[in-house]
Structure formats: C-alpha cells, structure tokens
Structure 1
C-alpha cells in the first residue's frame, strides 16, 4: 500500500481514539462551565440596570457576555471537529489530508488529533 493510502495501524488507531476521547471529555466539560458562566452573566445583568450607555459597569458586562459566548462558540466548534474526526476514524479516511489526500504525519495527529490537513496544506505551502 502506498504511503498516500496508508491506513493507521490498530495501535495507532487506539492511541488516536484515546486522544480524541480525552479531548472530547475536556471540551465537553469546558462547554458546561462556559454555559454556566454565560447563564450567570445573563442572570446577574438582568438584576441590574440595563442601560449600558449610562451604566459604568454595563460595558464590562456586555464585554464579559460576548467574551464567554465567543469561548463557548469555539468550544462547540471544536466538539464538532472532534465528532468529524471520530467519523473519519470509523470510515477509514482519518489520517489523510482533506485538501491534498497525502498522509498526515502521525506526530501531527498526536498533537492535533482533530486535524484534517497536513502541515503543508495547513501552512499554505500546497
């Protein structure tokens, strides 16, 4: 089998599955924490003046809410990437670059298990 179409070995697949599982658990916990943080900000801002323009704390409350929401959106996006990585692992396409089709170095997959591009494509060299 050519390097381009090389399938991960059983031990490599097991390692990747463990990394994806651990990352998914961390990210799921982060989503829960950020969701609670967002709800606390919304609840506390509902109990205070809603006139951000004249409320000296209003701007920081709006900023905090936007910041937590952005972090939550990133975490949810990462969860979706992890789910896609699990799907690629199941269907046998995991480890192949989504852009060029070349094999992604196992070392890169160990560091970024949800990645779908090789170093060359990720850096724009291809």
Structure 2
C-alpha cells in the first residue's frame, strides 16, 4: 500500500471517528434525558399505546451506544495499525486486505477470506 493510500484511509477513518464521537455524544444526551424521565416518576409511559415505553427506548439507545462504542474501538485499532505500519494486513493470515474491502470498511481487520471463515464459524 502506498503512503498516499494509507493517508487517504487515515483521513477516512478520522472522518468516521469524528462522526462516531458525535453520535455517541448525542446518544449520551438521550440517555441523560431518559434517565431523568425514569427517575422523576411522572412519566407513565407503560400505559401510552401510541409511544414507545421508557424501558424500550432505554434499551434501544443503550444498544446503539454500545454499537457506536464498538465502532469507535475498531476505528481506533485501525488508526493504531496505521501508526504501527501494519494497516491493510489481515490480522489472521497476514495477507493483504483488498483495497475494495478497505474502501467499504476502512477499519477491516480481516481479509475477505478470513472474514468469511470467521462468519461461517459463528
């Protein structure tokens, strides 16, 4: 991989990181609002047939928050691999991760063959 390609992928990852951090901050605000609504005792959402329950919304937002935290960790690991000089190499077989795969998933840790094998084992 050329230094220019690595720089382009670094830029893509940094852009994704910025967006992910913004999403985490927004979800954090939602969690604070939900926590306040749950603790004040005035929200009787369990009997509102038109809206989602506070518990359901809490679960949804908490799940999204966990997903974004995982995404952020993956991006940070990819940036670490760039700094260490190992970006674009499969963590399992040490073969190259194809450019098309990195275009689609810049934080990819596995080449497509190893990713398929890992998915089949699930």
TM-score w.r.t. the length of structure 1 is 0.84
SS at match of 2:47: coil
Post-superposition shift, 1:48? Answer: 2.2
CA distance in 1, matches of 2:70, 2:58: 18
1:97 aligns with 2:90: yes
CA distance in 2, matches of 1:94, 1:25: 20
Match of 2:79 in 1: 86
Match of 1:123 in 2: 116
TM-score w.r.t. the length of structure 2 is 0.86
Match of 1:75 in 2: 68
Q: Which ranges in structure 1 are unaligned for 5 or more consecutive residues?
A: 1-7
SS at match of 1:123: helix
Match of 1:56 in 2: 47
Structure 1 segments (4+ residues) deviating >3 Å = 49-52
Pick the structure with more helix per residue: 2
Count of residues in Structure 1 that have an aligned counterpart in Structure 2: 116
CA distance in 1, matches of 2:89, 2:47: 52
Q: Which ranges in structure 2 are unaligned for 5 or more consecutive residues?
A: none
